[in-house]
Structures are given as structure tokens and as C-alpha cells.
Amino acid sequence: MYRFYTRKTYDDTITNIIPPHALFENMSNKLPKLFFLGRPFSPLYSSIMKFRELLYVKGLRKRYTANVPVISVGNLTMGGTGKTPVVSLLATLLLKKGLKPAIISRGYGGSAKQQINIVSDGKNVFLDAQAAGDEPCFLAKTLPEVLVLTGTARALPCHYAVKNMGATVLILDDGFQHLSVQRNLDLVLFSAATLAGNSRVFPGGDLREPVSALKRCHAFMITGVTDELKEQSSLFAKLLKQRFPDKPVFFAAYKAVGAVSLKDAHMKKLQDLPQPLFAFCGIAQPELFHKTITQQNIDLTGFIPLDDHQAYPPSLIETISNKALLKQSKGLICTEKDAVKFQKNSFALPCFALKMTVEPDPDFLIFFKNHIQSLLADDHLEHTTSQSNTC
């Protein structure tokens, strides 16, 4: 049922497992064609990334070290791996422990270009999706007690969040390649649907860095695991354990728990939504969103997949509305990441954002709890020692 093949990326090899039908679908996509054309340049890009890492390892490029624990959530591959829901989960867990987390993001796609952009101070949201980027805005709106900041040089918002806003723990959103900030826990995610892609380094494939970069992380998480993807996820986990035996591998599933009305922000049960609905989204893996909706037995009149981080000018909103009306839809449904870009009356039809939660292995929750307790204990010891030395 599964096809095993090994892709060799210069001195790095990793075996990937993809169902034959998925491989066929990928080959019909435009990305493999671009990767084929970019393959000759992969050795150069791979070498550049290795050299960049070496500069930090040797101390030739400075790394900012915060005086609070730093957690990074990132990925080796390009495209979506479900980082945002995991970041949201970790921030919630940290809040429950009485900590004050700050999420630090690059703010991809946002127009705010200051060195430090405060999206939320834990009480008020200051920047919309256009300014902050859709993901930081989504996190700010759904985590009202969490600090959210953006900045291309993340050391600056990290330092500001700790010194000026009282953050007691930092979460780097998409931080695996951002080596200028030292971290205490590096979590790397893989999507159960795409795993390591074609296992080649950009521009010849899906990888941002050579596979050897994974030695930097502390743990892996395979996200979006379903019954259909469980077998290939388990096989991929075994490969990771073989290559990196000292790093645990965890699994996480996503669960649709309802839909939030754009008009009044009230949560509705999925069975109470008006049907049929017209769906659209601008995320990295739109097919997964479509599949999730259909698995909830929601009747769809149509579906428009858009680019990741899609902007929604009035003309596009009008096009979506007209298509939905033409199909005699009773409403619209999109992702929460899309919904933060709209006003409550953006659409003539009722619009709903599918509410998803991430459900990791119980083992991961234990691992995270123990890791944080250990970091806090070490941090307390360092502070105590520092104070004693000062005295």
C-alpha cells in the first residue's frame, strides 16, 4: 500500500513514506515541476544553510539569550504543519501554570515594519490582520491574556516583552530557523499529510534546511494525524527515532468543535449551522480544510481554495459572495485564520469560522509539563545565584 523511497540530499538522507495516490496528486501539482527545475541549485542552498548554522555554533554570529525560558515551535519543511494551533495550546498551558507567556512572531504578510510591533498587550489588540499578519492577529484575538509581538529581528521583541511587559516565558512562532534567539525547548512539527515532502532541500524540494539540522531540536510532533494517516505517520515516526534516537516523537490530531459566527462571535454547534454552505480558505493546505468540513457531514455547494496568507480585497469578497449566492448557499464557512481579516458585515450571507482544537498525545502533555518545571527550577536557581553573587 505504501511506497518507500529514499531521497539523498548531499550528505543527508531521510526516508519518506507517501501513499501512491498522494504521490500522483503531488506530481500533478505545480510545485514538483518547480522543484525539478530548482534541483541543481539545492546543493548551494543547502551549503549556505549549513554554513549559517555553523556561524552560530562557533559563536561568530551573536545569539540573544533571554533570562526567561524560550520555547520554539517550527518546522523543517515549507508549508503548513499546524504551528499556530500548537502555539495556542502551549500558551494556554503556560497560562494555566500561572505564567505570563509572550508569543513572538515574524508577522509574515503584515504591513507593520517597526522593529517591535505590539499586536496585543494581553488586554487589548492593537493591530489588525493587515498590519500584524493573519496568524499573530488570530492568536491575539483568541488568547486575550497572552502578549503577542512581531518583528523581523526577533531578539528585539523578545527583549521588550520580558523587560517592558513582564513576560515570564517566550514562545517563538515558526522559530526553528531563527537561530539568533537561544531557546530552551525546540519543537519541530511535521504534517501527517505531507511528512518530509520529497525530502530535498529548497529550491529542489520542500525542506528549508538539510535533515541534519534536526539535531538541534529537542522533540518532534506529527500533526493532523487521522485514522487514514495513522500508518504512514507511525512509519515516519520510526524513521525519525532511528535517525535521532535521543528525541521523542509525539502525535497530535485536530478536532472540529464548532463554528464561530462572524456577525456576533457566538459559537454554534456544527449540526446547528445553516446548510448548505459555501467554503473557502487561504491556508497552506486547503485540501485538509475541505476534508475536515466534509467529514463533519456539512453539505457544501462549492469550495474555493486560495493562496496561503490570502488578502481579501473588496473585489474578492464580492466574488466569493456572488459564487455562494449563485449556488443558493445558506451561508459561508472558512478558517479562523481567514476570519480575522473580515468585518462582521463583510458578507451578505452568514459567515462562520470553523473552530479547531489540537489534541496531542497525553505523553506530550507530560513531557511539556516536566520540561517547563525543569526550566523554571533552573531559572529560579540562576536568579538566586545571581542575586547572591550581587550581594
Can you give the pLDDT at residue 32? 76
Predicted structure pTM score: 0.87
Distances (CA, A) of 208 to 194, 295, 320, 382: 14, 32, 34, 35
Distances (CA, A) of 182 to 18, 154, 169: 34, 11, 13
Domain ranges across the chain: 256-358
pLDDT along the chain (391 residues), means of 10: 31 36 40 83 95 96 96 93 95 96 94 96 96 96 97 95 98 96 97 93 94 97 96 97 97 97 95 97 93 95 94 96 97 97 95 97 96 81 40 31
With contact defined as beta carbons under 8 Å apart, do 181 and 175 qualify? yes
Render the burial of 330-355: b for 16+ CB within 10 Å, e for the rest: ebbbbbbbbbbbbeeebbeebbbbbb
Q: Which of 184, 172, 153 is nearest to 74 (CA)?
A: 172
With contact defined as beta carbons under 8 Å apart, do 244 and 357 qualify? no
Cα 180–Cα 184–Cα 187 angle in degrees, nearest 5: 90
